Amino acid sequence: MRTDRFDVLIVGAGPAGSFAGLALASQGARVALLDKAEFPRDKACGDLVGPRGVQLLDDAGVSLSRTVNVGDMLVVGSTGRRVRLPSAAGHTYPGHGMSIGRLILDALLQKAALDAGAVGFTGRADTPLEVDERLDGYRTSNGMDLRADFVIGADGATSHVAATSRLIDESKVLWGFALRAYLDQSVQLPVIALWEPRPWRGFPGYGWIFPTFDGGTNVGLGIGTRASRTMAADSVRMLPAFLDHLRALGFIDRSTPEPARRLGSWLKMGTIGTTPYRGRTLLVGDAAGLVNPLQGEGISQALSSALAAANSILRDPGRAGELYAETLASSHLPYQRIAAAAHSALVGRRFAIAALGRVVTFPRISSALAGGWAIFWNELLDGAPPSRARTVAATATTIGQLMTAHSQTARWFKDVLQPAETNELTTE
């Protein structure tokens, strides 16, 4: 049986795993990058990378092709009212995101990691290998023993690394399920669509229609399920009705045929329910639950957490886990705590979802909130320049912190993720 030993074994070669591999290997670490699939391979995703992700890719010198820049976003309420959320540059990110298919992005990032010196392996992480009750690697489905000083779990929402390392509490996780397809027609602005399948009964999630680099569209529907994983079929069952809703609003041509191929995946949102590290095992990206609970973005968070994990290992191997948790707490906790609590409170309350959607898209309210909404919703407050929009976002953050301070979600963050020295959060 073949046995290889590395400094770091990364399980999963999606954006988080490959970006961690790139950061580690480029600094001389011996890295094993394991994935169950041969590349290129596709993933269910809206294909949008937010401004922070764009900046991280640029900082790392990753050269991307077949992309389209995405600026302002249109939010459409169930009644058809439309709010344009402006895109603006911050001190630490550009004034745009980008659309790039996962078939392309993931293959480019994996190649970048391998070119930097990471060693690629194909197979499933199967049996955990332990030394003195510490995870030392995995035996793969094709019979290799991959051992390492550190293991990074980058294997998605249903992470095997998280499960075998006992880093997930299934009863606390905010699950979601997203289904996407491609249509052969263009769209000028990315659209988030709030939907009521029946009047005043809001869909517990949202739909989207985003541009693709080749002039087509990525269209999908995501549903929040809280701790249950039995509602995925609702997205599948309701997608045709949602597409009819988009046709009625004029976003899809009535002559456009139904998509022939659909792809779905689970989302683990808001960090809650997942401990980011134990010993020398670290979770990044979707495996750590780092998906925005309010709008579903995950690629920017995958990249930032991957870089944080890599830097923590390189900086101080003896305290890598603690350093990583501190970085997550300082960079994501203020927003994730609020967003996770709001998500948990709303899912299952369809009248409340409908009422909130109608309020935030009411013209006078939406025009006053649009700039701040764009900053807050996209987790861009840190780095936003002084402006009226930033003030709105900072105020929303302060109110959200106060409203969620004594929630079960806040208690979980304090007990599991939040270091004592960061218990006092600020919006600055």
- Tell me what the mean pLDDT of segment 160-165 comes to: 97
Q: What is the mean pLDDT of the chain?
A: 93
Q: How far apart are CA 196 and CA 105, in angstroms?
A: 33
List of residues 6+ apart from 399 with CB closer than 8 A: none
> Is residue 19 within a helix (H) or strand (E), and if so which, with residue range?
helix 15-25
**CA–CA distances in Å: residue 414 to residues 59, 90, 328, 334, 411:** 32, 29, 13, 11, 5
| pLDDT computed for residue 332 by the predictor | 87
- The number of C-alpha atoms within 13 Å of 386 and in the hemisphere containing its C-beta is 0
> How is domain 174-267 classified at the CATH fold level?
D-Amino Acid Oxidase; Chain A, domain 2 (3.30.9)
3 state DSSP class of 246: helix
Is the confidence at residue 426, as pLDDT, over 50? no
Strand-pair category, 174-183 with 217-226: antiparallel
**pTM value surpassing 0.75:** yes
Q: Please provide residue 87's backbone torsions phi and psi, each rounded to the nearest 5 degrees.
A: -105, 130
| pLDDT computed for residue 420 by the predictor | 42
Residue range 208-267, pLDDT digits in tens: 999 999 999 999 999 999 888 887 888 889 999 999 999 999 999 998 888 989 999 999
Q: How far apart are CA 271 and CA 137, in angstroms?
A: 24
Q: How far apart are CA 154 and CA 160, in angstroms?
A: 9
Residue range 80-94, pLDDT digits in tens: 999 999 999 999 999
- Tell me what the mean pLDDT of segment 127-146 comes to: 95
Beta bridge partners of 423: none
| pLDDT computed for residue 234 by the predictor | 86
3 state DSSP class of 278: strand
List of residues 6+ apart from 282 with CB closer than 8 A: 150, 151, 152, 153, 276, 309, 312, 313, 320, 321, 324
Please enumerate, as own/partner, the contacts of 204-209 that have beta carbons within 8 Å and a separation of 24 or more: 204/346, 204/347, 204/348, 204/350, 204/353, 205/176, 205/235, 206/295, 206/296, 207/242, 207/245, 207/246, 208/46, 209/246, 209/251, 209/252
CATH of the structural domain 3-70+92-169+269-331, one choice from 3.50.50.60, 3.40.50.12780, 3.40.50.300, 3.40.50.920: 3.50.50.60
In angstroms, how far is CA 221 from the centroid of its own chain? 15
- Tell me what the mean pLDDT of segment 175-197 comes to: 95
List of residues 6+ apart from 159 with CB closer than 8 A: 12, 153, 168, 283, 286, 287
Task: Tell me which residue of 219, 241, 223 sits closest to 233, measured CA to CA.
Answer: 223
Residue 28 — pLDDT band, cuts 50, 70, 90?
Answer: very high
Residue range 192-208, pLDDT digits in tens: 999 999 999 999 999 99
Is the confidence at residue 368, as pLDDT, over 70? yes
Residue 424 — pLDDT band, cuts 50, 70, 90?
Answer: very low
| pLDDT computed for residue 231 by the predictor | 79
Residue range 387-408, pLDDT digits in tens: 999 999 999 999 999 999 988 8
| pLDDT computed for residue 230 by the predictor | 81
| pLDDT computed for residue 427 by the predictor | 37
Residue range 48-83, pLDDT digits in tens: 999 999 999 999 999 998 999 999 999 999 999 999
Structure-token match 């600094």, residue found = 27
Residue 418 — pLDDT band, cuts 50, 70, 90?
Answer: low
| pLDDT computed for residue 417 by the predictor | 73
- Angle, in degrees to the nearest 10, between helices 363-377 and 388-404: 80
Q: Is 126 exposed, middle or buried (0-12, 13-18, 19+ CB in 10 A)?
A: middle
Is the confidence at residue 413, as pLDDT, over 80? yes
Is the confidence at residue 293, as pLDDT, over 80? yes
- Tell me what the mean pLDDT of segment 36-46 comes to: 95
| pLDDT computed for residue 219 by the predictor | 97
Beta bridge partners of 209: 191, 219
Q: How far apart are CA 72 and CA 95, in angstroms?
A: 9
Name the token pair of 377. 């919703």
Is the confidence at residue 373, as pLDDT, over 90? yes
Residue range 318-355, pLDDT digits in tens: 999 999 999 999 998 889 999 999 999 999 899 999 99
Q: Is there a shared CATH topology between the 3-70+92-169+269-331 domain and the 174-267 domain?
A: no
- Tell me what the mean pLDDT of segment 132-147 comes to: 94
With b for 16 or more beta-carbon neighbours within 10 A and e for fewer, the 275-308 pattern comes to bbbeebbbbbbbbbbbbbbbbbbbbbbbbbbbbb
Residue range 259-292, pLDDT digits in tens: 989 999 999 999 999 999 999 999 999 999 999 9
Domain ranges of the chain: 3-70+92-169+269-331, 174-267, 336-422
